[in-house]
Amino acid sequence: MSVFLYCAICFVVLALVLIVRLVIGPTAADRAVVADAIDVLCDMGLVLFALYSGRGIYLDIALITAVLGFIGTTLVGKYLEGKL
């Protein structure tokens, strides 16, 4: 088995654990943190796929989704703080 497959299996297991936490999170802040963590896992999955396939376009997509995830998390934080 390939190292890429082992990493993909680990990412899937981590995403499942985070989805459980997303469902049972007691506060909205907990859910926002989990959503950001899932975004990071998706970005890492795209980087892993870019390495596996040898195509750089997936790195560009991962960079764009990482920036959008950061902006989204910042906006959610401002909203929960009451400053938006």
Alpha helices in 1-84 (DSSP H): 3-24, 28-53, 57-81
Burial of residue 46 (number of CB atoms within 10 Å: 0-12, 13-18, 19+): buried
- Average pLDDT (4-27) is 89
pTM attached to this predicted model: 0.83
pLDDT single digits (tens) 3-12? 888 988 898 8
- Average pLDDT (20-38) is 90
pLDDT, residue 65, reads 95
